Structure 1
Amino acid sequence: MTEQTWHELSRPLPEWFAKAKFGIFIHWGAYSVPAWAEPIGALGEIADDDTWFAHNPYAEWYFNTIRIEGSPAQAHHREQYGDAPYDEFLDQWKAERFDPAEWAKLFAEAGADYVVPTTKHHDGIALWDAPGTGARNTVRRGPQRDLIGDIAGAVRAEGLRFGVYYSGGLDWSVTDLPPQRSGEQVHSLRPNDAAYNYYALAHVRDLIDRYRPDVLWNDIEWPDAGKHRGPDGLYELFEDYYAANPDGVVNDRWGDTHYDFATTEYSAMSENEAKDVWENTRGLGWSFGFNRLESPAQTLDSAQLAQHWVDVVSKGGRLLLNVGPTAEGVIPERQQQSLRGFGDWKRALGDAAEATERRDPSLPSNGLWRREWWTPSERIVFVDATGEHRLDGAGVDAERSRVLTGDAVVERDGDEAVVRVAGTDGGPVAVAMARR
């Protein structure tokens, strides 16, 4: 298909998504039982080679990592579980403490606009009674629940938008390919045939029919056999999705086809920040799935989360922040604390993020971190350190300022606006000055 053909799917961005600046991602699966990965660092900061894949910090990649000969994950698996196959974790995953209403309440308190749970990750286990999966899903085994339906109902009851993640690019359960050991192999060792296209297509269509998601968040790629305009093709799927939900949006991980918004992951794919609509995703730690090896030092606290979110929004993006529940269905307390503290800090900003206009985020202030948002009526300055911060006062009225978070005062000194910060409170100090 030509680029022009895919372009025909373009349409105005739905208003809700244009305003939405904070979402919650959920990675929960059979991999949450071992919950084991080496916390070596963040994606984009480590070489894309055997170092990353053999020591993968993503706990949700456990099924792949334990198949890499000589990997520490393989050694750990043999020590703890012997020669037990991965699918035994599905039967051990009981979700006995899962309370979707409590999850949704937490996400609302954190100030989320939308929630996107994994429906099928690369291990191929579906979190709903997906067609063609037989008993290999959470309705027939393990939790014996439609986890996606439970999450969808609870999230919408809190007034949040609901989306779905689906791994169209990888499914280790439908191939006998060797494990991926590099980024290149992630794409070269993936199912591309017509049979897998029909299988994945039936899943995504079922997700659309059952749950009417506002976001279709595909991962890695889409089978090449399905990238066409005819029956059972990806073009037709997009058309039918938009017809079923005119407010729906799709991400950019369907191969070189169509998307409503681009994505970055941690610091990887940062070139997508130059695009008109984009989203950054990352975990609170270095893994998406729950990793029992991660420490507080590797987890964003509420202030660090606030700073990261402000940075993303200042560059014109939105943040999809991941939580990784335990196999029992509990969001770890450390993650809950970060979300609640962030929500308390964020609440003082009101709906300013919704109206933010894109500006250059590179704004040093006496060598300290500083970011700015510009709304139609205000310039909002964020700083994360005490002391004096001098700003170009052009276009603002420093006398008409509001301190939104923290302890600060604003004065005019000639052509400059001076922000004097006495203390922070759970996140960067935010000062709003009226635009002239």
Structure 2
Amino acid sequence: MEWKCFLSFIFLTVGLGTGEPSVRRYQPNWKSLDSRPLPGWYDESKFGIFIHWGVFSVPSFGSEWFWWNWKGRHLREYAEFMTKNYPPGFEYSEFAPEFTASFFNPDQWAELFEESGARYVVLTSKHHEGFTNWGSPVSWNWNSIETGPHRDLVGDLAAAVRKRQLHYGVYHSLFEWFNPLYLSDQRNKFKTQKFVMEKTLPELYDLVLRYKPDIIWSDGDWEAPDTYWNSTGFLAWLYNDSPVKSLLDTIAYGGNFLLNVGPTKDGTIPPIFEERLRGLGQWLRVNGEAIYASTPWRVQKENSSNIIWYTSKGSSVYAVFTKWPTDNTLKLDSPKTSPSTTVTMLGIPQPLKWKTSPTEGLLIFLSPLSPLTVPSKNGWTLKMEGVS
């Protein structure tokens, strides 16, 4: 794939994950950069947590695009929200002191994310509003050290996450909606690079050198070409010289599932989010064998009366289903059986009885089990050996 721009909704995995230094040097062109292999840890992780947290958490209305929807697009519902809740003339910058993070406990967050079964965490270091969640030296008075929390949110969470052996990454917006330097380059049809050289690149270098993230999600490139962002030059430096060089549909198709969490302005994660995250962790403790380090099977998903997702690992094939069959018999169309075929359910040691389907595939008898008594809820995994 040749990237026409920088990285829009694409993960750039920084660490090689092998523990061995790279002997290859990458050139500042897409052919060379695209040849870099995906780190093994990322391909095996399958599930991470993405955290949207910033000044937009104060109004907590709509989305993180609040400022743009209010002052850029002039959407009526945003204007009405401000009229109803804030005095005339209120500016977006006045939200920043209310972004206190006063109850932010990074160790509690990290414990929750670990319990969810996630293997990595990505924090918004800066969204398109320009406010940085660390003391960016080129974001004067518009960062979490000088206003609002008065603490290094990026660094505090990094330390807590890494204590639990989770990988840590940062999201960073390349552009800023209302930054005068960016707007000037925009008026010049991006023939000038004042914003890139004075804001974007210094921040990216600072994030890498200061926090050594395993992932950089760089976003917001769509208005300008990659030459404006100096994409290939930065990536070549990152790969060569930086100090860090050395769920069902998504998983079944070989992808990685990144679940978004939106904390409150004071740094708490709402109870309903926590409940869902811990529930997901409970499910993964039973069924994670079919998720972590898995690869797509020859059939990713079966569409029948009961949708089945398939993954594989070594000689094992896994079938995940979320609807318990009313007759306690699950029909799988895709696997081809052999005399050595065995079927078990993850969390249940005893093998299940099965027989070859009269048409194709196999019939698995779940009658000894009950969806109310099996170890996981809302989804069950069959492990098959000896199928092709």
Q: Match of 1:215?
A: 215
Q: In structure 2, what is the Cα distance between the partners aligned to 1:142 and 1:190?
A: 35
> Match of 1:412, as an amino acid?
W
The TM-score, its normalising length taken from structure 1, stands at: 0.72
Q: In structure 1, what is the Cα distance between the partners aligned to 2:59 and 2:102?
A: 16
> Match of 1:239, as an amino acid?
A
Deviations 1:9-54 (A, max 9, x none): 12121111121200110000111111012xxxxxxxxxxxxxxxxx
The structure, 1 or 2, with the larger RCO (C-alpha pairs under 8 Å, 6+ apart) is: 2
5+ residue gaps in structure 1?
38-58, 178-186, 249-308
8 Å Cα contact 1:20-1:354 kept in structure 2: yes
1:60 equivalenced with 2:8 (yes/no): no
* 2:269 maps to which of 316, 331, 334: 331
Report percent identity of matched pairs: 30
Q: Match of 1:80?
A: 85
Instruction: For residue 383 of structure 2, give the secondary structure of its aligned residue in structure 1.
Output: strand
8 Å Cα contact 1:361-1:371 kept in structure 2: yes
Q: In structure 2, what is the Cα distance between the partners aligned to 1:113 and 1:190?
A: 41
* 1:410 maps to which of 320, 339, 352: 352
1:364 equivalenced with 2:318 (yes/no): no
Q: In structure 1, what is the Cα distance between the partners aligned to 2:79 and 2:187?
A: 23
Range moving further from structure 2, 239-248 or 105-114: 239-248
Q: Match of 1:390?
A: 331
Instruction: For residue 358 of structure 1, give the secondary structure of its aligned residue in structure 2.
Output: strand
8 Å Cα contact 1:409-1:420 kept in structure 2: no
Q: Match of 1:428?
A: 379
Q: Match of 1:304?
A: none
Q: In structure 1, what is the Cα distance between the partners aligned to 2:171 and 2:282?
A: 28
Alignment of 1:2-41 (within 5 A): 5-9=29-33, 10-37=35-62
**Against the structure 1 CA distance between its residues 117 and 396, is the aligned structure 2 distance closer, same or farther, given a 3 Å change threshold?**
farther
* 1:112 maps to which of 106, 111, 118: 118
Alignment of 1:162-311 (within 5 A): 162-174=168-180, 193-198=192-197, 199-221=199-221, 224=224, 227=227, 233-243=230-240, 244=242, 309-311=247-249
Shift in Å, 1:390: 1.0
Q: In structure 1, what is the Cα distance between the partners aligned to 2:253 and 2:3?
A: 31
Q: In structure 2, what is the Cα distance between the partners aligned to 1:338 and 1:15?
A: 28
Q: In structure 2, what is the Cα distance between the partners aligned to 1:189 and 1:167?
A: 21
Instruction: For residue 325 of structure 1, give the secondary structure of its aligned residue in structure 2.
Output: coil
> Match of 2:125, as an amino acid?
T
1:130 equivalenced with 2:68 (yes/no): no
Instruction: For residue 203 of structure 2, give the secondary structure of its aligned residue in structure 1.
Output: helix
**Against the structure 1 CA distance between its residues 174 and 111, is the aligned structure 2 distance closer, same or farther, given a 3 Å change threshold?**
farther
Q: In structure 2, what is the Cα distance between the partners aligned to 1:192 and 1:406?
A: 63
> Match of 2:231, as an amino acid?
L
8 Å Cα contact 1:214-1:245 kept in structure 2: no
Q: In structure 2, what is the Cα distance between the partners aligned to 1:328 and 1:353?
A: 34
Q: Match of 2:7?
A: none
Shift in Å, 1:70: 4.9
Q: Match of 2:22?
A: none
**Against the structure 1 CA distance between its residues 190 and 218, is the aligned structure 2 distance closer, same or farther, given a 3 Å change threshold?**
farther
Shift in Å, 1:405: 5.3
5+ residue gaps in structure 2?
5-27
> Match of 1:7, as an amino acid?
K
Q: In structure 2, what is the Cα distance between the partners aligned to 1:397 and 1:124?
A: 62
Shift in Å, 1:368: 2.0
Q: In structure 2, what is the Cα distance between the partners aligned to 1:192 and 1:71?
A: 34
Shift in Å, 1:348: 1.3
Range moving further from structure 2, 233-242 or 406-415: 406-415
Q: In structure 2, what is the Cα distance between the partners aligned to 1:188 and 1:398?
A: 69
* 1:353 maps to which of 274, 291, 297: 291
**Against the structure 1 CA distance between its residues 69 and 240, is the aligned structure 2 distance closer, same or farther, given a 3 Å change threshold?**
closer
1:322 equivalenced with 2:260 (yes/no): yes
Instruction: For residue 372 of structure 1, give the secondary structure of its aligned residue in structure 2.
Output: strand
Q: In structure 1, what is the Cα distance between the partners aligned to 2:188 and 2:300?
A: 38
Instruction: Count the aligned residue pairs.
Output: 342
Shift in Å, 1:245: 5.2
Q: In structure 1, what is the Cα distance between the partners aligned to 2:289 and 2:264?
A: 32
Instruction: For residue 423 of structure 1, give the secondary structure of its aligned residue in structure 2.
Output: coil
Q: In structure 1, what is the Cα distance between the partners aligned to 2:189 and 2:283?
A: 43
Q: In structure 1, what is the Cα distance between the partners aligned to 2:290 and 2:307?
A: 20
> Match of 1:318, as an amino acid?
N
